[in-house]
Structure formats: structure tokens, C-alpha cells
Amino acid sequence: MPPIAETTKYQRVPQRVVDDLKAAVGERFVLTEPDELLVYEADALTVIKHLPAAVVLPKTAEEVSAVVKILAAENIPFTPRGAGTGLTGGSIAFNHSVIIETARLNRILKIDYENRLAVVESGVINVHLSQATSPYGFHYAPDPSSQMACTIGGNVSQNSGGPHCLKYGMTTNHILAVEVVLPSGEIVNLGGGGVDAAGYDLLGAFVGSEGTFGIVTKATVKLTRLPQGVKTLLGEFMTVTDASRSVSEIIAAGIVPAALEMIDRATIIAVENSIFAGGFPTDVAALLIIEIDGLSVGIEDEAARAVEICLRHHARAVRIAKDDAERTKLWGARKRAFGAMGRINADLMVQDAVIPRSKLPEVLDEIYAIAARYSLNVANVFHAGDGNLHPNISYDGRNADEVRRVELASKAIMQLCVEAGGTITGEHGVGADKINYMELIFSDADMERMLAVKNVFNPTGLCNPAKVIPATKTCRYCSFGLEDFKKN
């Protein structure tokens, strides 16, 4: 395959191809006019923008397959897209690719309580599944903060997490099977759908492949029983260090909270000044949301131990949500924190990295120091229980110098986390944004092996080009050429 040249100008899909696409999915579901395409030029990482050559909205797996075949035959790259809430530019249309959006694959096909699973199309919004099942005492456990908008297909592709993944595991622990349209157009089913499947765990490798192995059209997911009891605590701390020490100690004490989140002052203020105000005190340095769930008899004792640990680490107070309404309000405010921060300044760089939780106090101190060094404002709101940081930097994208400082600070933060024994992303993925950080944690040999797997799923490289693995990496074990990657 010849490398596809990158130009900054919008490039049209040949009319004949457009006609074929329209024949496959219907006239209305192929967008080609630049003004229609504008909303697709970026995802929630707004700094990288590329106009797709077209957007196609298929309704079924067969239509996705037909679309993929048409494009593959013409050597036109394509990029899967769910709701576009990705924070690392995973669904940006590099190389003038055509976006295949799953918005119309939006049916919940089966809810099967006896087998504790549901079958959904990939464009189903995450929260809709839990809304459908919670009256029957079940939910779909992975709960990204974007769950009101993001799709199950996007979650599968990113192996998304969320506050409650501390106890319940990431998306990968909840996916039993997927139906996938391979970049060749072939439709295959990966995973046993609840039974042990023979052979290599292709499903496991697919989850988290960020749209570069194929397009998910259906997913069979686990349904989890809602816990009998829930207790949500809000710990108020006058220093971030006290809050982080409490986190480490709660985990070390053998308590497995359902969620353990930290919110620092900058975030609290942003949230409380927004319409999402959760009634958080604004005069503290950090808050911990500690949620304990399980059998009602067990949680009292665990909650009491968690409170005791917080108080020992100088918590000013530990509040217990008195009812469901208060609990919902706390979580509503927490989950909308990114949105609220987005209003502090013109732009927001949401960061995502993981460190061993025992290193929280030192690493957090150093992150604030890095921000100060680059004269930037950093706000931390994150999944403290599994060491998954979100140091977010608000800035003004029109200020070139500030943008440069944001880049430098982000890199310094990544390096810090890697040196502490962590990783460059815990849930938002690599996408386009973090591609150059991959070398911080993986050797060329490690990435070659990744390419050796990608090559099997996506031998032409047409599916979601220029993501995850830097284009400079080649693979001795693969047959396909380099992907052309230029950031602008």
C-alpha cells in the first residue's frame, strides 16, 4: 500500500465512491459537505483537528461491512467513531479518512438476567444499559464519567474505566464477546459470550485496541447485581498529602472500596462555581469520595474503618451521604468535574496517568510543583484508589506560549509518573495525543510485538491510521508499510 500523503486541505471522496456509500447506507447517511463535517474534526481532545473526507452512518453490521469493503477497495482509510467523547484524539480522521459513526447502531438487543448478560449494538450509550437494567437489580458496572454520552463500542475500544472500576474492574472485565467488522469487511465474533472460548484470547487483545483492529458492531456484556447496601463518605482534608496518605492506608488496610476518588481545591472551586455544584466545601485542600458497597452487614464496619483512617490523617470531617439523593448529587458533581473545569479557561488539557498508589503523596506534590514551574493552573480530580491521576491543565489555546508550556508540563508529568513505576494512561488511551509517550514505557521490541498483532487484524493499516503506535516504529514481523503520521 502506498503511503497516503497528508495535506492540510480538505480532500473529497470521489463522487463514484460517495454514490456507492449512499447506495449502501442510504442517501441521508453519508455526509460530505464541509459544514456538515465540521463537528467531526475533533473529539473531546480539542487541540488536534482534522476534517474527515466524509462521514458515514450505517445502521447494521452488514452496512458497516459494505462500507468498509467499498472504502478498502479504493484504498481510502476509515476511522470508527462512537460519541466522540474520547480525550486522546482516537477518532480523529487522519489521512483524510472517512469516519464511520455508530450512532445508528443504537439498539439494546437482549437483556438476559438468567445468564447475567446483555447484547447491545455498539452505539448504545453506556448509561442507557444501566438505566434499563437497574429496575431489575442489575447494572453494567464500568461507569466512565462520560457515561451519559459515550458508547459501549467506544468503551470497548478504549477499555474505559470509571470511578467504580476500582472494585469492579475495567471494561475488559465485563465484555463477554464482540461482533466486529474487520478492516477487510469480514464480520467475525470474538469471545465466547459467557462460555470459555477456545484458542487465543482475541477478545482480550481487541478490547483497548482503540479502533485500530476493526469496528465493533455488537457487544455481549456482563450484567452485575446491584449491591445490597451502599455508603458514600466525603472526607474533608486541609492538605492534599493527608488525603493521599489516607488513600494509601485505606487500600493497605485491605479495604476494597467500590470507589475512592480525590478532588482537589482547584477542581472543587470550578465545580462549585458551575451549575453542577455538589455542595462541596470550598475551604478545603482536597476531598475524598469513598464509597463502600456490598452486603449491608459488611459495609458498616468497613465504612467505620475508613472514617477512622481519614480522621487519623487529620480529616477535618467525614460526612456520610444520608440518602440516595445526596449520593446522586455528590457523584453528579464529581462526574461533571471535567465539564466544570472546561469553563475556567478557553481550553482544558485532560491528562491521564497511573502511579503505584503508595507514591501518591510525593507524585502529587511534584505535579503541583511542575505546574508552578510552567506558570500553569493544574486541577486534580482522579481515581485515587487505583493511582489513576487526572492532572488537568486549563489554558488559553490562542496563547502560543501557554500552549507550549502546557505541552512541556504534560510531558514532565508523564515522565514523573513513569519514573514512579506507573504508566502513561490508565483509561483514556493513547490515541493520537500520547503516541509520542509510548517510548517512555515500551521498547522498540515491545512495540514490534504490538504491531505484529495489529498487522493480523489490520494488515492494510487502513483502519484508524496513525494511532497508538508511533509511525516511526516498524515491525520486522509484519508485512505492511509505515503509517504516515504528521501532527498537523
Partner 1 sequence: MNKDHASLASSLAALIGGDYVTKNQALHLQELTPTLIIKPASAEQVRACLAVCAEADAAVIPAGAMTWLEGGNPLRRADVVLSVERLKRVIEYSPPDLMAIVEAGVALRDFQAQTRSAGQWLPLDPAGADGSTIGAIAATAASGALRLGFGTPRDYVIGLRLAHIDGTESRSGGRVAKNVAGYDLNKLYVGSFGTLALMTEVNVKLRPLPEASATMMITAATLARLLDLARRIRASAVQPVSIFLTAGLTEHASGKALLLRFMESAAAVKYQLQEVEGLLEGEFQAACLAVEEAEALWKKAVNTDELADYAVRLSVPLATVTEVFQQVLTRRAASFASADLGVGIIRLAFPADDQEALEIIRDLRSTATRVGGTLFIEGAAPKVKAALDAWGEVGELAKLMRGIKQNFDPQGLLSPGRFVAGM
Ligand X SMILES: Cc1cc2nc3c(=O)[nH]c(=O)nc-3n(C[C@H](O)[C@H](O)[C@H](O)COP(=O)(O)OP(=O)(O)OC[C@H]3O[C@@H](n4cnc5c(N)ncnc54)[C@H](O)[C@@H]3O)c2cc1C
Show contacts with partner 1 in window 352-381 (CB under 8 A): 354-358
> Judged by CB under 6 A, which of 58, 77, 90, 391 binds ligand X?
90
- Per CB under 6 A, contacts with ligand X among 206-225 are 210-211, 215-216
**Is residue 428 at the binding interface for ligand X, with CB under 6 A as the rule?**
yes
386 binds partner 1 (CB under 8 A): yes
Contacts of 348 (CB under 8 A, 6+ apart): 338, 341, 342, 392, 393, 394, 395
Strands 377-382, 391-395: pairing kind: antiparallel
Provide the minimum distance between the beta carbon of 314 and ligand X in the complex, in angstroms, as a whole number: 29
Which residue from 32, 146, 158, 246 is in contact with partner 1, where contact means CB under 8 A?
A: 158
CB of 161 to ligand X, least distance (A): 4
Contact string 209-248 vs partner 1 (x = CB under 8 A)? x---------------x--x-------------------x
351/345 Cα distance (integer angstroms): 16
Nearest distance from residue 463's CB to ligand X, in Å? 8
Axis crossing angle, helix 296-312 with helix 240-252, rounded to the nearest 10: 140
Is 154 a binding residue for ligand X by CB under 6 A? The answer is yes
Residue 417 C-beta: closest distance to partner 1, Å: 9
C-alpha cell at 303: 465504612
Residue 255 found at the interface with partner 1 (CB under 8 A):
yes
Of positions 27, 33, 35, 196, contacts partner 1 by CB under 8 A: 196
Pairing of strands 175-181, 215-222: antiparallel
* Residue 80 binding ligand X, by CB under 6 A: yes
144 binds partner 1 (CB under 8 A): no
The reply to whether 191 sits near ligand X by the rule CB under 6 A is no
Nearer to partner 1, 10 or 477 (CB): 477
Closer to ligand X by Cβ: residue 77 or 82:
82
> Shortest gap between Cβ of 187 and partner 1 (angstroms)?
9
- Residues of span 112-151 touching ligand X by CB under 6 A: 122, 144-146, 150-151
Residue count, binding to ligand X (CB under 6 A): 38
Cell 494511532 -> residue: 467
Nearer to partner 1 among residue 52 and residue 153 (C-beta): 153
* Cβ proximity to ligand X, 133 vs 160, nearer residue: 160
Binding status of residue 203 toward ligand X by CB under 6 A: no
Grid cell 448509561 is found at 127
- Among partner 1, ligand X, none, the one that 80 touches (CB under a kind-dependent 5 to 8 A) is ligand X
What is the spatial distance between Cα 485 and Cα 465, in angstroms, rounded to a whole number?
A: 8
What phi, psi does 373 have (nearest 5°)? -60, -40
| Binding residue for partner 1, selected from 441, 471, 474, 480, defined by CB under 8 A | 441
Q: Are 476 and 452 in contact (CB under 8 A)?
A: no
382 binds partner 1 (CB under 8 A): no
Give the residue, chosen from 384, 417, 464, 473, that forms a contact with ligand X under the rule CB under 6 A: 464
Pairing status of strand 347-349 against strand 187-190:
unpaired
Nearer to partner 1, 346 or 441 (CB): 441
Q: Label residues 182-214 b or e (16+ Cβ within 10 Å = b).
A: bbbbebeebbebeeebeeeebbebbbbbbbbbb
- Residue 43 touches which of partner 1, ligand X, none (CB < 5 to 8 A by kind)? ligand X
* Site for partner 1, residues 72 to 111, rule: CB under 8 A: none
Contact between 241 and ligand X by CB under 6 A: the answer reads no
Query: From CA 41, how far away is CA 384, in angstroms rounded?
Result: 33
From the list ligand X, partner 1, none, partner contacted by residue 301 (C-beta under 5 to 8 A by kind): partner 1
Residues near ligand X (CB under 6 A) are 43-44, 79-87, 90-91, 102, 122, 144-146, 150-151, 153-155, 157-158, 160-162, 210-211, 215-216, 338-339, 427-428, 431, 464
